[in-house]
Amino acid sequence: NWDIILDFMASMVKQYIIGPDDTRVAVVIFSNDATVYFTLDKYDTETEVIEAIRNMPYEGGTTNTGAALRLTASGW
Protein backbone atom coordinates (compact mmCIF):
# COMPACT_ATOMS: atom_id res chain seq x y z
CA ASN A 1 0.00 0.00 0.00
CA TRP A 2 2.93 2.38 0.61
CA ASP A 3 3.77 2.44 -3.11
CA ILE A 4 0.14 3.25 -3.89
CA ILE A 5 0.27 6.22 -1.50
CA LEU A 6 3.53 7.48 -3.04
CA ASP A 7 2.04 7.18 -6.54
CA PHE A 8 -1.04 9.10 -5.40
CA MET A 9 1.08 11.86 -3.88
CA ALA A 10 3.19 12.15 -7.04
CA SER A 11 0.06 12.33 -9.20
CA MET A 12 -1.31 15.13 -6.98
CA VAL A 13 1.92 17.13 -7.34
CA LYS A 14 1.69 16.80 -11.13
CA GLN A 15 -1.64 18.65 -11.07
CA TYR A 16 0.03 21.91 -10.01
CA ILE A 17 2.72 24.26 -11.23
CA ILE A 18 5.48 23.88 -8.64
CA GLY A 19 7.88 26.76 -8.13
CA PRO A 20 9.06 29.53 -5.82
CA ASP A 21 6.34 31.85 -7.11
CA ASP A 22 3.75 29.14 -7.68
CA THR A 23 2.53 26.16 -5.65
CA ARG A 24 4.75 25.04 -2.78
CA VAL A 25 4.65 21.55 -1.25
CA ALA A 26 5.46 20.32 2.25
CA VAL A 27 5.10 16.79 3.59
CA VAL A 28 4.37 15.53 7.08
CA ILE A 29 4.93 11.83 7.72
CA PHE A 30 2.85 10.32 10.49
CA SER A 31 2.73 6.92 12.11
CA ASN A 32 3.17 6.66 15.88
CA ASP A 33 4.42 10.27 15.80
CA ALA A 34 4.34 13.05 13.23
CA THR A 35 7.47 14.43 11.58
CA VAL A 36 8.00 17.16 9.01
CA TYR A 37 9.63 15.32 6.11
CA PHE A 38 10.22 18.50 4.12
CA THR A 39 9.06 22.11 4.39
CA LEU A 40 7.47 24.45 1.85
CA ASP A 41 10.78 26.09 0.93
CA LYS A 42 12.81 22.88 0.44
CA TYR A 43 12.14 22.12 -3.25
CA ASP A 44 11.58 24.41 -6.22
CA THR A 45 10.54 22.04 -9.02
CA GLU A 46 8.04 19.28 -9.64
CA THR A 47 10.89 16.86 -10.30
CA GLU A 48 12.54 17.61 -6.95
CA VAL A 49 9.28 17.21 -5.03
CA ILE A 50 8.39 13.93 -6.72
CA GLU A 51 11.89 12.55 -6.16
CA ALA A 52 11.67 13.45 -2.47
CA ILE A 53 8.25 11.79 -2.23
CA ARG A 54 9.53 8.64 -3.94
CA ASN A 55 12.36 8.46 -1.38
CA MET A 56 10.14 8.79 1.68
CA PRO A 57 10.73 5.99 4.18
CA TYR A 58 7.93 3.71 5.30
CA GLU A 59 7.81 3.98 9.08
CA GLY A 60 5.14 1.42 9.93
CA GLY A 61 3.33 1.77 13.24
CA THR A 62 -0.06 3.30 13.79
CA THR A 63 -1.84 6.04 11.84
CA ASN A 64 -1.69 9.04 14.16
CA THR A 65 -3.62 11.52 12.04
CA GLY A 66 -4.25 13.73 15.06
CA ALA A 67 -0.52 14.23 15.65
CA ALA A 68 -0.04 15.14 11.98
CA LEU A 69 -2.83 17.71 12.11
CA ARG A 70 -1.52 19.22 15.36
CA LEU A 71 2.00 19.46 13.92
CA THR A 72 0.74 21.06 10.71
CA ALA A 73 -1.49 23.50 12.59
CA SER A 74 1.43 24.53 14.81
CA GLY A 75 3.32 25.86 11.79
CA TRP A 76 6.05 23.27 12.62
Report all structural domains of the chain as residue ranges with CATH numbers, in order of start.
2-73 (3.40.50.410)
Q: What is the pLDDT of residue 35?
A: 94
What is the rounded distance in angstroms from the CA atom of residue 9 to the CA atom of residue 25?
11
Helix (H) / strand (E) element for 72: namely: helix 65-73
DSSP state of 42: S
Percentages (nearest 5) of helix, strand, coil residues in the chain: 40, 15, 45
Q: What is the pLDDT of residue 76?
A: 76
Please give the model's pTM, rounded to 2 decimal places. Answer: 0.88
Reading the chain (76 residues) residue by residue, the pLDDT tens digits are: 899 999 999 999 999 999 999 999 999 999 999 999 999 999 999 999 999 999 999 988 999 999 999 999 998 7
